[in-house]
Amino acid sequence: MSLARGIDPANHRELVHTVKALAMDAVEAAKSGHPGMPMGAADLAVVLWTSFLDHDPSCPSWPNRDRFVLSAGHGSMLLYALLHLSGYDLPLAELRRFRQWGSKTPGHPEFGHTVGVEVTTGPLGTGFAAGVGMALAERLLAARFNRPGREIIDHHTYGIVSDGDLMEGVAAEAASLAGHLGLGKLIYLYDDNQISIDGATDITFTEDVLARFAAYGWHVARVDGHDPAAIAAALTAAKAETARPSLIACRTVIANGSPNKAGTSASHGAPLGAAEVAAAKAAMGWPAEPTFHVPEGVRARSAAAQQVQRQRREAWELRMAAYRDAHPELAAELGSLESGGADAAALAAIPTFAHGGKQATRKAVQTILNALVAAHPALVGGSADLAGSNGVVIAGEPANSPKNPGGRVIHFGVREHAMAAIANGLALHGVRPYVATFLVFSDFMRGAIRLAALMRLPVIYVLSHDSFWVGEDGPTHQPIEHTMALRLIPDLWVVRPGDARETAGAWRIALRRGVGAGPTAILATRQDLPVLAESREEIDVGAYVLWQPDGDAPLDGILIATGSELAATLAAARDLAGRGVRVRVVSMPCWEAFEAQTAAYRDEVLPPSLQRRLAVEAGSTLGWSRYAAHSQGIDHFGASAPGPELAERFGFTAEAIAQRYLALPA
């Protein structure tokens, strides 16, 4: 993959200086930012980008490009400088507008915002885990689609990670799983600068990082992070290691090149200041003016490299064309994956559920998922050690492992945060991940869920055991605030289906939300629920009239319910009707979908004239005042007891709901 294996020291130095100067200038112009990391990591980044990274700036979406993850996202100017200098569509004018409104150079790299940025990073550790997802996707797709002599998917995932990344638990979880899976084409450079924000890392981080990673099953190495030949040799060795992921600790000096601030935490998160920038430029023989200076030699060598990169990508296109001829069906399937969304065949594969009988919505999830696997080849996922409980066991599908690298079932282990962050990497690499755990443990994943929403990735979260109906496991396992807390995340859609039929609808919502829309959480019950005759299997409207008494007499009010409260609420409304109180029941499985409807539709479902309303949901009431003046919910922690007993005590029987409605103030 090397473009220039023989590194010319002078050329290397000039490019490194260019990167450093651009970073200093941009941070000065913005009057904020992080100069230390780009300067300290410039040597290793330049070696990686000039001599290893196989990409084509003229075709950023080339599927077989190497992926690059800047997990230490605060060093964004390092990435922007490299993107600019490599020929991506990121002109100097954008670098001059670093961290300004509407620029392509925000404070932390944002996927979908800046061409060439592979993943949004900043929250430490999550980029590390996303890279694991990318490497897993690469191996998975290679196993499924490559044929002897036709290795159309064959690339590396590289990254630069920091002390902070390696302190975070999400990275630890992901590293353990990457080691277990033996992701040999994942190669991280650890910018080991021994400085974090509060000072030297030895105030809190004295573990033997390389020994830890060796224990995870990683190939590890240590090099001088300012010695380009050593860095290149370590990268070459890492590429030669195909059975284990690699961590190369590169001892660097933060803000290397700054005469007075190098090696200090002062250079981490603030501009160096005009005087120090001048001193640094002088020390490296760089012109003080103009700022944002790029030497002609750097431009010329970049242009030559881009030519080579384009040729390499075009050679791949030829191989891909031959692959298409040889394996048209595989090629079509691969193409369907790359388009991201689910097609009509996948949607059609979702089974229907006859009304009558009872089943837990997690069981419906399992039925749906098993039907989808064949029809939706992009679907890949698993659970954080709760597959059976969550309803995501796929019959006959062996788990992904080094021996079965094409397996579409992933045993994530009890590693919820990494699971969600790895899912982001999977989605970024074009597969369609679903990941599962108990709803209460969505707390552990929020950081990564938020990033999925920010990147608008089509990740599906299956979150079962979605209320006090968990029962005996008690308050640590009973979600109370979680449903509403998920609704708070922008661009995440939350669907809480009321029975098996609505569960089918939930999957339709999730699958229709393609790339660019965002993630979807499907909340499922542990306990059985009646499959209603009144419910719908198409719930894209978000909320609809489930039932109301016959006849034209005016209605008294509305009961709004979601999920496991739907059947009891329907029974309550029927009971009320028997007492002469005419109440409509609205099923509202998805707030976000409902709010996307026209005002006319919303007013039809929830007529403004009918303000006597009670919302019923086994969770926090906060937020329900948006739709109903009153709500039957739970604003305290749960308790350990059988679910039906809790339903009695917490007021979620049909009788309790009816009584509550009758007791509403006039």
Segment 608 to 627, residues that bind its own copies, using CB under 8 A: 620, 622-623, 625-626
Q: Determine, following the binding rule CB under 8 A, whether residue 107 of this chain makes contact with its own copies.
A: yes
Q: Determine, following the binding rule CB under 8 A, whether residue 646 of this chain makes contact with its own copies.
A: yes
Q: Which lies closer to its own copies via its Cβ, residue 49 or residue 98?
A: 98
Least gap, CB of 443 to its own copies (angstroms): 4
Which of 224, 338, 481, 528 binds its own copies (CB under 8 A)? It is 481
Q: Determine, following the binding rule CB under 8 A, whether residue 60 of this chain makes contact with its own copies.
A: no
Alpha-carbon distance 185 to 431, whole Å? 18
Q: Which of residues 276-295 bind its own copies (CB under 8 A)?
A: none
Residue 625 per-residue DSSP state: G
Least gap, CB of 448 to its own copies (angstroms): 9
Q: Determine, following the binding rule CB under 8 A, whether residue 535 of this chain makes contact with its own copies.
A: no
Strands (E), 142-185: 157-162
Which of 362, 450, 536, 602 binds its own copies (CB under 8 A)? It is 450
Q: Which of residues 570-599 bind its own copies (CB under 8 A)?
A: none
Q: Which lies closer to its own copies via its Cβ, residue 217 or residue 351?
A: 217
Residue from 652, 657, 499 nearest 583 by CA: 657
Q: What angle, rounded to 10 degrees, do the helices at 9-30 and 296-326 form?
A: 100
C-beta of residue 191 within 8 angstroms of C-beta of residue 252: yes
Q: Determine, following the binding rule CB under 8 A, whether residue 403 of this chain makes contact with its own copies.
A: no
Least gap, CB of 428 to its own copies (angstroms): 15
Residue from 235, 217, 74, 153 nearest 430 by CA: 153
Residue from 476, 478, 444, 477 nearest 461 by CA: 444
389: phi then psi, degrees, rounded to nearest 5: -65, -40
SS3 657: helix
Q: Determine, following the binding rule CB under 8 A, whether residue 168 of this chain makes contact with its own copies.
A: yes
Q: What angle, rounded to 10 degrees, do the helices at 274-283 and 9-30 form?
A: 170
Alpha-carbon distance 161 to 159, whole Å? 6
End-to-end CA distance of the chain: 75
Any residues with CB less than 8 A from the CB of 93 and at least 6 apart, and which? none
- Mark residues 1-30: x for contact with its own copies by CB under 8 A, - for none: -----------------------------x
Which of 389, 404, 597, 653 binds its own copies (CB under 8 A)? It is 389
Residue 265 per-residue DSSP state: G
Please write down the HEC assignment for all residues of 26-73: HHHHHCCCCCHHHHHCHHHHHHHHHHCCCCCCCCCCCCCCCEEEECCH
SS3 381: strand
CB-based burial label for 10 (10 Å; 0-12, 13-18, 19+): exposed
Least gap, CB of 37 to its own copies (angstroms): 14
Q: Determine, following the binding rule CB under 8 A, whether residue 58 of this chain makes contact with its own copies.
A: no
Residue 480 per-residue DSSP state: S
The stretch near its own copies (CB under 8 A) out of 303-311, 317-325, 366-374, 468-476 is 468-476
Q: Determine, following the binding rule CB under 8 A, whether residue 515 of this chain makes contact with its own copies.
A: no
Q: Which lies closer to its own copies via its Cβ, residue 47 or residue 428?
A: 428
**Which tokens in the block code for residue 521?**
């959480």
Q: Determine, following the binding rule CB under 8 A, whether residue 485 of this chain makes contact with its own copies.
A: yes
Which of 639, 653, 659, 662 binds its own copies (CB under 8 A)? It is 639
Least gap, CB of 420 to its own copies (angstroms): 11
416 is catalytic: yes
Which of 13, 96, 150, 212 binds its own copies (CB under 8 A)? It is 212
Beta bridge partners, 72, equal none
Q: Residues in contact with its own copies, total (CB under 8 A)?
A: 107
418: phi then psi, degrees, rounded to nearest 5: -65, -40
Q: Which lies closer to its own copies via its Cβ, residue 15 or residue 521?
A: 521
Q: For residue 352, give the H/E element and its range.
A: none
Which of 93, 115, 215, 321 binds its own copies (CB under 8 A)? It is 215
Least gap, CB of 506 to its own copies (angstroms): 21
CB-CB neighbours of 299 under 10 Å:
13
Alpha-carbon distance 19 to 36, whole Å? 12
Residue 150 per-residue DSSP state: B
Beta bridge partners, 529, equal 359
Q: Which of residues 317-376 bind its own copies (CB under 8 A)?
A: none
Q: Which of residues 216-255 bind its own copies (CB under 8 A)?
A: 216-217
Alpha-carbon distance 252 to 39, whole Å? 10
Q: For residue 121, give the H/E element and its range.
A: none
Which of 488, 533, 607, 655 binds its own copies (CB under 8 A)? It is 488
Least gap, CB of 222 to its own copies (angstroms): 14
Least gap, CB of 477 to its own copies (angstroms): 6
Least gap, CB of 451 to its own copies (angstroms): 7
The stretch near its own copies (CB under 8 A) out of 130-138, 175-183, 237-245, 332-340 is 175-183
Q: Determine, following the binding rule CB under 8 A, whether residue 508 of this chain makes contact with its own copies.
A: no
Q: Which of residues 410-449 bind its own copies (CB under 8 A)?
A: 411-418, 440-441, 443-444, 446-447
Please write down the HEC assignment for all residues of 484-499: HHHHCCCCCEEECCCC
SS3 585: strand
Which of 244, 487, 501, 536 binds its own copies (CB under 8 A)? It is 487
Q: Which lies closer to its own copies via its Cβ, residue 135 or residue 532?
A: 135
Which of 60, 273, 474, 514 binds its own copies (CB under 8 A)? It is 474
Q: Determine, following the binding rule CB under 8 A, whether residue 532 of this chain makes contact with its own copies.
A: no
Any residues with CB less than 8 A from the CB of 466 and at least 6 apart, and which? 439, 479, 482, 483, 496, 523, 524, 525, 526, 563, 564
Q: Determine, following the binding rule CB under 8 A, whether residue 36 of this chain makes contact with its own copies.
A: no
The stretch near its own copies (CB under 8 A) out of 12-20, 119-127, 296-304, 425-433 is 119-127
Q: Which of residues 147-166 bind its own copies (CB under 8 A)?
A: 163-165
The stretch near its own copies (CB under 8 A) out of 282-290, 367-375, 558-566, 638-646 is 638-646
Angle (CA) 31 32 35, round 5°: 110
Alpha-carbon distance 622 to 631, whole Å? 9
Q: Determine, following the binding rule CB under 8 A, whether residue 193 of this chain makes contact with its own copies.
A: no
Which of 18, 71, 120, 520 binds its own copies (CB under 8 A)? It is 120
Catalytic residue among 173, 416, 537, 592: 416
Q: Determine, following the binding rule CB under 8 A, whether residue 40 of this chain makes contact with its own copies.
A: no
Q: Which residue has the tokens 């431009």?
A: 299
Q: Determine, following the binding rule CB under 8 A, whether residue 206 of this chain makes contact with its own copies.
A: yes
Residues labelled as active-site residues: 416
